[in-house]
Chain A
Amino acid sequence: MNEPLIQFHNIDFAYSPDRTVLRGCNFCLRQGERVALLGPNGCGKTTLLHLIVGLLRPTNGRVEVFGKVRRGETDFHEVRRRVGLLFQDADDQLFCPTVAEDVAFGPLNLGKPRDEVRLIVAETLKSLGLNGFEHRVTNHLSGGEKRLVSLAAVLAMRPDVLLLDEPDMGLDDAVIERLLKLILGLPQALIVISHNRSFWTELTTSALEMREGNLFVQVP
């Protein structure tokens, strides 16, 4: 069996004492796996992704990423470099005025020199079929373009794992088809949240359903 990348050991998480989301949750993602995360709205799927990258901290339990237990903010700096999270709303993720700057933001934070960053930006955009988008203003992109650019921004960091939070939300069939092809061509292990059955069945190798704060294997 491949080595585990992300492991949850008995994770509890509550936003407030009367709003518990995860209860004794165990979870493991291994190299090469593509997992769909299913469940009704508000059941804690996004919370789980945010726990992985340390935007939220568990009330109880251990989060283990890349073979190390992660606790404090500095522990998660490395995690965030190697795990790419695609947010639900692309407007939250794209905050630079132009596309090139947005895609460059991650690599620049990693301390890469400007010339290399420029190369990474061009390569990443090209790999997603976004040639010539460098100087487009992010405000003026369409919904589908915004989603692809935010994916480019995540991929520019060359992550080992991808966490995709409803990447198909609000997109038309043609864009979903394009996105599906692109993601299928990526080598990374990934977790995807989606309410679109045909989307996740085509994309993933297994599916987990979240019920009462824990995860259960879903039989297709």
Chain B
Amino acid sequence: MFKHTLHPLHSGRSLLDAIDPRAKILFAATFAIVVALARTMPTMFAGLAVAISLVVVARIKIGDVIRRLLPLEILLILLALVLFWTVPAMERRDGLRLATIAALKANAVLLGSIGLIGTMDAVTLGHALAHLHIPQKLAQLLLFMIRYFDVLNREYARLRAAAKVRGFRPKMNGHTYRTFGHLVGMLLIRGFDRSERTLAAMKCRGFTGKYYMLDHFAFSRRRDVPFCIVAATIVSLLVGIEWMGWL
């Protein structure tokens, strides 16, 4: 059910794989902000072009990209339909324009993130965010989530299997809802118990509230400086295009 969420898309053959994750996250964030705030069409098209090139450079399989974009596209199509039919006929052009803008921005931001961040494994992402000094609690939460996602998922699968071997087949009835209620409730209780045991284990190893990080990322001059220059140039160009549109 959650299988693909924690596994990165990277192929190991891309130039981007070796770049310092912190630089990639910062680039993805600034890129997303610039595209999201853009008001002129040329900037949005340029942003989309940049995002597509990032996905190409990251060498992600086209199938994976489509799978990740699909939910977004469905939402965008619904949005376009709603905008088309709910506005008075005279304003339909405006409605369509808005729908196009939404589609351009959303696709650019998502594709850019897939290219830059989707290629990192979750552990690296968690560490990089922690080193970028996001609040410690958030970083800890993310790292714990990564660790226990699988454990909870396996627990869920075990409970489902236990129900299945006793002849449980989900249907649209009270029994099914009650069973799923029990299942989710049990999952929460077990999760809570496990968190208590984990805290006990942490205390046994001298934990008193502060979480220390072992790994540090090395910022490499040879690889990361060129990447940052390219990233800064792209962002400035996008801002430039936007500026020209306003004049």
Contact = CB atoms under 8 A, between A and B. Distances in A.
Contacts, number: 80
Task: Summarize B's interface: helix, strand, loop or mixed.
Answer: helix
Contacts of B213: 101
Interface string B142-157: 0110111011000000
Task: Summarize A's interface: helix, strand, loop or mixed.
Answer: helix
B143 to A, nearest CB: 6
A95 B201 contact: yes
Given A101-B214, A117-B214, A95 B147 contact: yes
Interface string B192-218: 001001101111111110101111000
Interface in B105-152: 122-123, 126, 143-144, 146-148, 150-151
Contacts of B148: 95
A183 to B, nearest CB: 18
A53 B210 CA distance: 20
Given A50-B200, A85-B204, A157-B206, 5 more contacts: A83-B204, A87-B201, A93-B198, A105-B212, A153-B205
Interface stretch (A12-20, A37-45, A107-115, A124-132): A107-115
B197 A80 contact: no
Task: Give the interface size bracket for B toward A.
Answer: 20 to 34
A77 B206 CA distance: 7
Contact of B205 (A89, A100, A109): A109
Interface of B: 122-123, 126, 143-144, 146-148, 150-151, 194, 197-198, 200-208, 210, 212-215
* Closest 5 pairs (CB-CB, A-B): A109-B206, A106-B205, A108-B212, A92-B197, A97-B123
Contact of B214 (A94, A110, A114, A137): A114
Contacts of B215: 100-101
Nearest to A112: B212
Nearest to A106: B205
Interface of A: 50, 53, 55, 77, 80-81, 83-85, 87, 89, 91-98, 100-101, 104-106, 108-110, 114, 117-118, 121, 137-139, 153-154, 157
Nearest to A53: B204
Given A77-B208, A114-B214, A137-B123, A95 B144 contact: yes
B166 to A, nearest CB: 24
A118 B203 contact: no
Given A100-B214, A114-B214, A93 B147 contact: no
Nearest to A81: B206
A87 B196 CA distance: 13
Nearest to A74: B208
Contacts of B212: 104-105, 108-109
A159 B205 CA distance: 10
Contacts of B204: 53, 55, 80, 83-85
A157 B201 CA distance: 13
B147 A138 contact: yes
B197 A89 contact: yes
Contacts of B194: 91-92
22 contacts: A77-B208, A80-B205, A80-B206, A84-B204, A89-B197, A91-B151, A92-B194, A92-B197, A92-B200, A94-B147, A95-B147, A95-B198, A96-B143, A97-B123, A101-B215, A106-B205, A109-B208, A109-B212, A110-B206, A137-B123, A139-B151, A154-B205
